[in-house]
Structure 1
Amino acid sequence: MVPASAGLKDPGARAQELLPDAFLTRIRQRAAEYDRNNSFFTEDFDQLRAAGYLTMQVPSARGGAGFTLTEVARAQRRLATAAPATALAVNMHLVWVAAAMAMTERGDHGLDLVIEGAAAGEVFAFGISEGGNDSVLFDSRTAAEPDGSGGYRYTGTKIFTSLAPAWTKLGIFGKDATDPDDPRLVYGFLDRAAAGYRIADDWDPLGMRATQSRSTVLTGAHVPASQIVRDLPVGPNADPLVFGIFSSFLTLVPSVYAGIADRALALAVQAVGQRSSMKFDGQKLSMDPDIRWKIADAAMLVDSMTLQLDGLTADVSAGPGSREHGADWFRQLAGLKTRVIADARRVVDLGLQVSGGASYTASSELSRLYRDVLAGIYHPSDDESAHSTVAQAVLGPLPTGQ
């Protein structure tokens, strides 16, 4: 918590107001059942939506709560302590809203329809990821065919489409190769009522099961001109839309995993306070120096997550000015996501180590957190991409062809 003497508000205060303890407890009580049944978090979703969770970053003038990105990240972290899969799925809607706000703060209103839609009750989801596409936003395996009136028809398969049972607007992109010398990446929002797509029943993962991140198969799905938001060249670029997506995704996704680490640490502290040690004449394991070292190690990792997430989310929200990172933005964002998720995995691992064999049972909450935290390695930017980004920033680009 920021000291009162600093003249700043605690960035987690509004998150606690939005997610009071009793509300969070009810969400936690349902998490194991959703995981066990591989079912969508319907009750959580309905209650979060009714509480205004999906509009927390929408400006108050448009009916939202006007949260900053830092406050949204803190709320996501808090929600993830109760139900990581619920937090991760809702995250995909919140990322679109955050991307729109990041663009607006930089004078670009290309995603105003997201802010307006969220305020009106639309639920946005990400139809971006594609199997085998390690270029992420800089190329696409999905074909985007012009309809002659400014709209497009999309054909391809999008994977990891969270919120599959609930979204009303799916953000997608594809490649318009009409001009082979100048292929374009076209972004738009598919309405759930549109024809030309199907949601596959193919979600049976190791963890994060309640997200119901099913594949979406596009077979000429039509997006009208009014819902097309960007037309960009293939390849890396710093367009405000690209920045908005990266800056939101790479801060809010690790916030979920930081919440997993928070909960794993709390469970570990609880466990060592209950378990006894024969080696120390029946004293609690919390008195064992080796156990204390592991708990301290986990706590230091959690503390570092807070500093990193609060700092970079504040920089994103600051807009143009002294807190801009210029050419180092992608280095900072990719590094943040990579570090936080790696550290969260380490914290869960330490929690399992000190909690004893009971935590290895399938019904153990720590066991579920262990399965959930592993999903972090599959979110872009992956380790290889992140390290390539940072290496290029520090060492310069490789010669062409390498």
Structure 2
Amino acid sequence: MTTSSAVPALDKVVETLRANADRADRDAVLPEENLAVLRDSGLLGLIVPTGAGGPGGSMSDLVAVARTLAGACLSTALVWAMHISQTDALLRHACRDLQTELLPRLTSGHLYLASVTTETGRGSDLFTAGTPLTADDGLLRFTGRRAPVVSGGRHADGFLITLRSAPDAASGSVSLVYADRADLRLSAIGEWDPLGMRGTESGGLLLSGAVPARNVVGVPGEFGTVARESMVPTAHIGWAACWLGAAHAGFATVLRDLRGAGTPPGEAVRERLARIRVDLDLASSYLNRVVDFAEDARRRGLSLATPLAQVRLNSLKLAVSEATARTAEALLRVTGMAGYASRSEVARLHRDLSSAPLNHSNDRMWPATGALALLDPTVRLL
């Protein structure tokens, strides 16, 4: 897997994110400086095609950038990766008029997108919605949409929101709607004070507003197609790249410190290092193979909503989230009480990566992936 010239020089971005990483974690905020340097770098429009004025970045580019950013600040990298998954949905499923309006704002860095797919009262089921859309004089209105988690939502310029397609529609008839910040009444709900990933600033929001009918992204009521073809592939690939980038950087730092300690590590530590290295190599290899598979499918016009594709994408999320969480735990044991200090980078990495299996819970994803595996009896392995 190689990156293209679409990826800008990242030195300034990485420097800013690394300088703010401790403050982001301590204060549970997405630093304004981090978002500003992402805007200025052009990274918000990374995957916008060249024909639309963007750099035309690929999934491979997404992975390369996410891994690099996450080595400096995992929280900011994850917020950026989620923005890219929203961008992909707009590129593949929004109508031409909406794209014409939004793509220049993405390439100029003036449109940071937040995802509103969580909803109070329905658990983590991505494919149902409670709050309905109501058609009124050419507009689609919604009131009281409660989202308990919206990564970086306080800073967003626009939102992609899941809503029930009509007041009389079934809960599984879900539409994805783009809403500009100016179209919304927003208020914060709940408190954002988690153990890790604090710098994503993923506090809850209460949203009400009205948007033109053209702002439905994809076919009304068929959000599942948008999710499976676009948001899930790019989210799982982006998340995995972020987790791996952070774990990789943490491992490299610990190795450097061990080499500089003057005393060779004992056998138990060497075994932990070997197990970490195996986990990271396997995770990196599988990530690259899934990216190759997804890019090839898109080049050939094939669906990523098939059971085979969904098994591979789910397996990526499951494997990398658990491998990197193991890595963080092992690094904590390698560094001992020095790493256990509340403000150490290893402790932050441990707290952050402990959330990876909880982000779209693996406890729900394992049985769902098993059900998908039953639909692929030939067991077509990568």
Asked whether the two chains share a fold, i.e. TM above 0.5, the reply is: yes
Closer/same/farther in 2, CA of residues 314 and 150 from structure 1, 3 Å limit: farther
Q: Could you say which residue in structure 2 is the equivalent of 1:271?
A: 257
Kindly indicate whether residue 311 of structure 2 is the aligned counterpart of residue 331 of structure 1.
Answer: yes
Q: Could you say which residue in structure 2 is the equivalent of 1:95?
A: 85
- Which ranges of structure 1 fall in alignment gaps of 5 or more residues? 3-9, 277-282, 398-402
Q: By how many angstroms is 1:184 displaced?
A: 2.8
CA distance in 2, matches of 1:333, 1:151: 33
1:156–1:217 contact (8 Å) kept in structure 2: yes
Q: Could you say which residue in structure 1 is the equivalent of 2:9?
A: 18
Q: Could you say which residue in structure 2 is the equivalent of 1:77?
A: 67
- Which ranges of structure 2 fall in alignment gaps of 5 or more residues? 377-382
Q: Which amino acid aligns with 2:331?
A: G
Q: Could you say which residue in structure 2 is the equivalent of 1:49?
A: 39
Q: Could you say which residue in structure 1 is the equivalent of 2:300?
A: 321
Q: By how many angstroms is 1:384 displaced?
A: 2.8
1:226 alignment partner, one of 214, 220, 227? 214
Closer/same/farther in 2, CA of residues 142 and 12 from structure 1, 3 Å limit: same
- What is the aligned residue count? 372
Q: Could you say which residue in structure 1 is the equivalent of 2:179?
A: 190
Kindly indicate whether residue 339 of structure 2 is the aligned counterpart of residue 347 of structure 1.
Answer: no
Q: By how many angstroms is 1:216 displaced?
A: 1.1
Q: By how many angstroms is 1:181 displaced?
A: 6.6
2:160 alignment partner, one of 167, 171, 175? 171
Q: Could you say which residue in structure 1 is the equivalent of 2:380?
A: none
2:218–2:226 contact (8 Å) kept in structure 1: no
What secondary structure, in the 3-state scheme, does the structure 1 residue paired with 2:106 have? helix
Greater radius of gyration (CA): 1
Q: Could you say which residue in structure 1 is the equivalent of 2:133?
A: 144
Q: Could you say which residue in structure 2 is the equivalent of 1:292?
A: 270
2:363 alignment partner, one of 384, 395, 402? 384
CA distance in 2, matches of 1:32, 1:253: 21
1:151–1:223 contact (8 Å) kept in structure 2: yes
Closer/same/farther in 2, CA of residues 145 and 258 from structure 1, 3 Å limit: same
CA distance in 1, matches of 2:350, 2:115: 25
Q: Could you say which residue in structure 1 is the equivalent of 2:196?
A: 207
2:118–2:124 contact (8 Å) kept in structure 1: no
Could you state the TM-score of these two structures normalised by the residue count of structure 2?
0.87
Q: By how many angstroms is 1:84 displaced?
A: 0.7
Kindly indicate whether residue 75 of structure 2 is the aligned counterpart of residue 112 of structure 1.
Answer: no
1:184–1:231 contact (8 Å) kept in structure 2: no
Name the stretch that deviates more: 126-135 or 74-83.
126-135
Kindly indicate whether residue 133 of structure 2 is the aligned counterpart of residue 153 of structure 1.
Answer: no
Q: Which amino acid aligns with 1:347?
A: T
CA distance in 1, matches of 2:124, 2:153: 24
CA distance in 1, matches of 2:153, 2:191: 11
Name the stretch that deviates more: 321-330 or 256-265.
321-330
What secondary structure, in the 3-state scheme, does the structure 1 residue paired with 2:218 have? strand
Q: Which amino acid aligns with 2:10?
A: L
RMSD over aligned CA atoms reads 2.8
Could you state the TM-score of these two structures normalised by the residue count of structure 1?
0.83
Matches within 5 A, 1:358-397: 358-380=338-360, 382-395=361-374
2:189–2:204 contact (8 Å) kept in structure 1: yes
Q: Which amino acid aligns with 1:122?
A: L
1:274–1:284 contact (8 Å) kept in structure 2: no
